[in-house]
Amino acid sequence: MPVTQSKLEPMLIDGELTESTSASRIPVYDPSTEEVIVEVADASTAEVDAAIAAARRAFDEGGWPQTTAQERGRILFRIADKIRAEAAVLAELESRNSGKPIVEAEFDMADAATCFEYYGGLATKISGTVNPVPDNALSLSMKEPVGVAGQIIPWNYPLLMAAWKLAPALAAGCTCVLKPAEQTPLTALKLAGWLGKCGVPPGVVNIVTGLGETAGAHIVAHPQVDKIAFTGSAAVGKIIMKSAADTLKRVTLELGGKSPNIFFADADFEAAIDGALFGVFINQGEVCSAGSRILVERSIYPKFVDAMTEKARAIKLGPPLDRATKMGPLVSREQFERVRQYQAIGRSEAKVAIGGGQPKSFARGYYVEPTIFYDVDNSARIAREEIFGPVAAVIPFDKESDAVRIANDSPFGLAAAVWSRDIYRALRMVRAIRAGIVWVNHMQPTYVEAPWGGYKQSGFGRELGVHGIDEYLETKQVHINLNEQPIGWY
Ligand code: ADP
Ligand code: MG
């Protein structure tokens, strides 16, 4: 593919926008045209080392953990303001690079700004406790930043994931080395150019580009990094956990899912159909919490599959920058091929209600059809493995207990949704489902104020809300003796 611009996007190391000297480059694509937009570096080991050393210095000597919480908060507010001011530019870049519809990219930019605002406010609410020890002493638990955070993020919500990582870390007083996904580094690199003006001191945030297997793995293994926060595939999560064990780093993992979206016969039918489609087709299905297993009570099952199919027919596929587009191309050729493979697997495992292939109307671009498989057995590969594309597996169930059993019969446990007008049943389901997030009569709403993360192989640790900042804090026990006499033991 011809490189339309042979510019190399700089990285942020120690407060400087640094053009990499690495011989290895990564083309960054527009997935709707399959053309290269720009190139980024696959940062060399020396460059990643320099970023980590800068973060280390900013933490150990640069005084970032000692800045007042008020000052850190104000810096985060300025970052939020800048993102809001540049939202149109950022959204366009995000949409073009990731393939997501522009309207969705605009929501993401607003959410990224809100995330910085939330943690800007939370910076001044970190407080410790006084412990009631049985002695003439003052016992304190103090919260302190964990140190240098290595942050590795995926390509589905590029700037928003950067915000979820950077904002709580900075509020806590940590310094950061962030590596965006190689497919979608552009909005994070834009942000990199603004951080200094927002008041972020040199070295406090470093943003390096590179492949997961090289730059990413090096951050994870590096002895000067204290914590790894990762969002991505379960397969890479396992590699990261093993590698981080060598230096006993703190690790938080937000991994994949195969989330059940469960519909009882008494649910509002129209809202249910909408929720089923939105749950699995938003962002082309490239969502860790996608409601990719659609469990439907048998008495409404045929009608439900028909209605979903009918409505899915109207989903408008198109270029990401077209405001009418509801589904853009997948992010990359690799992801396109992966989803195409699962479509083929699905055709052999279940019945096709709609889709199952590539739309005819596009000469190029990584477009796939919104696909609904039905009569899927929960043991099928399309019901067990995360596809990360617009592919739904519809599964019938008979009783509430069957719904619970099927929902929980998964290696994953990120999210789930339950649709019913029966409050008793809905709340029983909330308790019975083993997942980190349960929505009732909705699918996918995500708020920075509420915790996010998974059970089982969907990972551990929580992002967002007050929980999110805890993952960047250590607890120090302080004992202050108030007896003026010697201990008197010897
Ligand atoms: P996908 O397979 O959909 O690309 P990944 O889990 O591979 O999802 O990617 C998520 C993030 O993890 C990306 O930033 C990627 O570069 C990074 N990554 C991939 N492999 C590794 C690895 N071995 N060590 C550290 N980071 C990695
Ligand atoms: Mg990968």
Residues 175-189: pLDDT tens digits? 999 999 999 999 999
Q: Is the per-residue pLDDT at 327 higher than 60?
A: yes
The answer for 158, left when phi > 0, alpha when psi is -120 to 50, beta otherwise, is: alpha
- For ligand 1, whether the C-beta of 239 sits within 6 Å is yes
User: How many angstroms separate the Cα of 428 from the Cα of each of 303, 422, 425?
Assistant: 26, 10, 5
**For residues 406 and 429, is the Cβ–Cβ distance under 8 A?**
no
By most ligand atoms within 8 Å of CB, the mutation choice from 45, 165, 219, 236 for ligand 1 is 236
Rounded-to-integer distance, Cα 366 and Cα 30, Å: 10
Q: Is 254 a catalytic residue?
A: yes
Residue 332 tokens read as: 């990359």
**In ligand 1, which atom is closest to the CA atom of 210?**
16
pLDDT band at 8 (very low <50, low <70, confident <90, very high): confident
DSSP secondary structure, 193-251, as one string:
TTTTTTTPPTTTEEE----IIIIIHHHHH-TT--EEEEES-HHHHHHHHHHHHTTT-EE
Which amino acid belongs to residue 98?
S
- For ligand 1, whether the C-beta of 179 sits within 6 Å is yes
Rounded-to-integer distance, Cα 76 and Cα 118, Å: 9
Ligand nearest the Cα of residue 231 is 1
- For ligand 1, whether the C-beta of 221 sits within 6 Å is no
Predicted confidence (pLDDT) per residue in 294-326, tens digit: 999 999 999 999 999 999 999 999 999 999 999
Report, in angstroms and rounded to the nearest whole number, the Rg of the chain calculated over CA atoms. 24
pLDDT of residue 2: 42
Query: 234 C-alpha vs ligand 2 centroid, how far in Å?
Result: 10
Residue 24 tokens read as: 């290895």
Q: Is the per-residue pLDDT at 426 higher than 90?
A: yes
Query: 235 C-alpha vs ligand 2 centroid, how far in Å?
Result: 9
Q: Is the per-residue pLDDT at 102 higher than 90?
A: yes
**For residues 296 and 338, is the Cβ–Cβ distance under 8 A?**
no
Packing angle of the helix pair 301-312, 269-281 (nearest 10 deg)? 60
Ligand nearest the Cα of residue 236 is 1
pLDDT of residue 217: 98
Cα angle value 91/166/22 (rounded, 5°): 80
CATH class of 260-440: alpha beta
DSSP letter, residue 412: E
Taking CA atoms only, the protein residue closest to ligand 1 atom 16 is 212
- For ligand 1, whether the C-beta of 73 sits within 6 Å is no
Query: 181 C-alpha vs ligand 2 centroid, how far in Å?
Result: 9
Rounded-to-integer distance, Cα 369 and Cα 327, Å: 9
Burial class, 293, CB count within 10 angstroms (exposed 0-12 / middle 13-18 / buried 19+): buried
Which amino acid belongs to residue 232?
G
pLDDT of residue 166: 99
Q: How far is CA 455 from the centre of its chain?
A: 15
pLDDT band at 247 (very low <50, low <70, confident <90, very high): very high
SS3 94: helix
pTM of the entire predicted model:
0.97
Beta bridge partners of 180: none
- For ligand 1, whether the C-beta of 234 sits within 6 Å is no
Nearest by Cα to 311 from 271, 261, 252, 345: 271
Which of 115, 174, 176, 288 is an active site residue?
288
- For ligand 1, whether the C-beta of 150 sits within 6 Å is no
Backbone angles phi, psi at 40, to 5 degrees: -125, 165
**In ligand 1, which atom is closest to the CA atom of 153?**
14
Domain boundaries, the chain: 11-255+458-476, 260-440
Q: How far is CA 374 from the centre of its chain?
A: 28
- For ligand 1, whether the C-beta of 244 sits within 6 Å is no
- For ligand 1, whether the C-beta of 389 sits within 6 Å is no
State the average pLDDT for the chain. Answer: 97
**In ligand 1, which atom is closest to the CA atom of 179?**
14
- For ligand 1, whether the C-beta of 212 sits within 6 Å is yes
Rounded-to-integer distance, Cα 390 and Cα 434, Å: 24
The gap between the terminal CA atoms of the chain, to the nearest Å, is 80
Predicted confidence (pLDDT) per residue in 352-369, tens digit: 999 999 999 999 999 999
Q: Is 198 a catalytic residue?
A: no
- For ligand 1, whether the C-beta of 334 sits within 6 Å is no
Taking CA atoms only, the protein residue closest to ligand 1 atom 24 is 217
Q: How far is CA 401 from the centre of its chain?
A: 31
- For ligand 1, whether the C-beta of 459 sits within 6 Å is no
Query: 423 C-alpha vs ligand 1 centroid, how far in Å?
Result: 41
Predicted confidence (pLDDT) per residue in 9-55, tens digit: 899 999 999 999 998 999 999 999 999 999 999 999 999 999 999 99
**In ligand 1, which atom is closest to the CA atom of 180?**
14
Q: Do domains 11-255+458-476 and 260-440 have the same CATH topology?
A: no
Which of 254, 386, 463, 471 is an active site residue?
254
Rounded-to-integer distance, Cα 411 and Cα 417, Å: 17
Query: 214 C-alpha vs ligand 1 centroid, how far in Å?
Result: 10
CATH number of the domain located at residue range(s) 11-255+458-476 in this protein = 3.40.605.10
pLDDT of residue 6: 56
